[in-house]
Structure 1
Amino acid sequence: MMNIHKIFELLPHRYPFLLVDRVTDMQLGERITAYKNVTVNEPFFNGHFPKNPVMPGVLVLEALAQAAGLLSFETYGEAPGEDKVFYFVGIDNARFKRPVVPGDQLILEASIDRVRGGIYKYKGVAKVDGQVVAEADLMCTMRPVERNC
C-alpha cells in the first residue's frame, strides 16, 4: 500500500527516529495498518538494555503516532514540511502488555477517533504475533515551525 519512499515523502522523520517501514492497509478517514521491523541494530538497544534489549514503550507509542500521521496526511491532503510540523499534544490510556524485542515485527494499527479544532484524536494498538503489546489514545496537532536556532 505504501513503501518507504512514499513514507519519506510524508513524514519528516529520518534515521534513527523513523519508526514505520511499510503501510500494508489504509482506509482513508478511518484506519491504517503499518509495520516496523525491530532489529538488534536499533540504536536504543545499546542502552535499553545491553543484556536484555527491550524497545522503549515511548518509541512504540511514537511508532503508532507516525502511522496515525500517515493516515491523516493521506486523508486530509496535508503533510508537515518546512513551515509546519505535527506535534503530540496528549496520550491517554496508555497500556503496555509485553516487551517488544529484537526480531519482532511490530504491527501498528491506528484509527481516527475524531478531528476537532485542529486536534486529531486516534486510537492506537500495537501488536506482535497477533498479541497486543501496547495501546493508547493519541492526540496530535499541526502547528507552524518555530525556529529556535
Structure 2
Amino acid sequence: MLFGAHLIKKVANEVYLLGNQWSLLKEVKATTTNNIEALADVPADSPWFSGHFPGEPILPGIALVYIVKQAIIEEALKKGTQLQLYSLRRIRFTQPVRPGDTLSISINYEDTGEDILFSFKVINKENVVSSGQITAKKING
C-alpha cells in the first residue's frame, strides 16, 4: 500500500469512529455509466477546521480527498461492490476551501477488470480546487 493511500485509510477509519460530524458529503449520484457527481457543504463549525488555521480557516487537503473517497465508496455500495483504495496519484490542491463553501465533485472512472481508476475534480465556484487519481480494487463481486 502506498503512503498516501495508507494515510487516507487511517484518517477514514478515525473519522468513522468519531461519527458523522466529520462528513461533508451531501449528495452522491451516478450521472452516466462511468461518472459520479457529488455535492459537499463545508460548514464553519466542521471539526476539520480545528487548528487549520486559527483566524484563517482552510479545509485541509486530506478532507478533500476524504470527500472523494466517501463518494466513490457510497456509489460502489449502491451497486453491491466493496472497494479497497490502494493508490493516490497526481493529487493537486490548487485553491483554498473555506467555511461556507459548497463543493461539486466530478469523478470519472474506468474499470479495467482488475483495477478501477478514478479521476476526480473538486470544484468551488467554477474553480478546480483539487484533482487527482485514486486506484481501487474490487474485494467482492
Q: TM-score higher than 0.5 here?
A: yes
Structure 1 unmatched ranges of 5 or more: 1-10, 81-85, 145-149
| Secondary structure of the corresponding residue to residue 30 of structure 2 | strand
Change beyond 3 A, Cα 1:28–1:115: farther
Answering whether residue 58 of structure 2 is matched by residue 62 of structure 1, we say: no
| Secondary structure of the corresponding residue to residue 77 of structure 2 | helix
Deviation at 1:113, TM superposition (A): 2.4
CA distance in 2, matches of 1:87, 1:14: 21
Deviations 1:11-59 (A, max 9, x none): 9x94134331113x42353111111110111002121112111111111
CA distance in 1, matches of 2:51, 2:108: 32
Query: Of the candidates 77, 80, 91, which is equivalent to residue 78 of structure 1?
Result: 80
Query: Of the candidates 31, 34, 43, which is equivalent to residue 39 of structure 1?
Result: 43
Structure 2 unmatched ranges of 5 or more: 1-15
CA distance in 2, matches of 1:51, 1:113: 41
Which amino acid letter does the alignment assign opposite residue 80 of structure 2?
Answer: E
Structure 1 segments, 4+ long, off by >4 Å, are: none
TM-score normalised by structure 2 residue count: 0.76
CA distance in 2, matches of 1:61, 1:72: 17
| Secondary structure of the corresponding residue to residue 124 of structure 1 | strand
Match of 2:7 in 1: none
Write 1 or 2 for the structure with the bigger share of helix: 2
Cα RMSD between the aligned structures?
2.5
Answering whether residue 116 of structure 2 is matched by residue 114 of structure 1, we say: no
Identical-pair percentage: 21
Change beyond 3 A, Cα 1:132–1:120: same
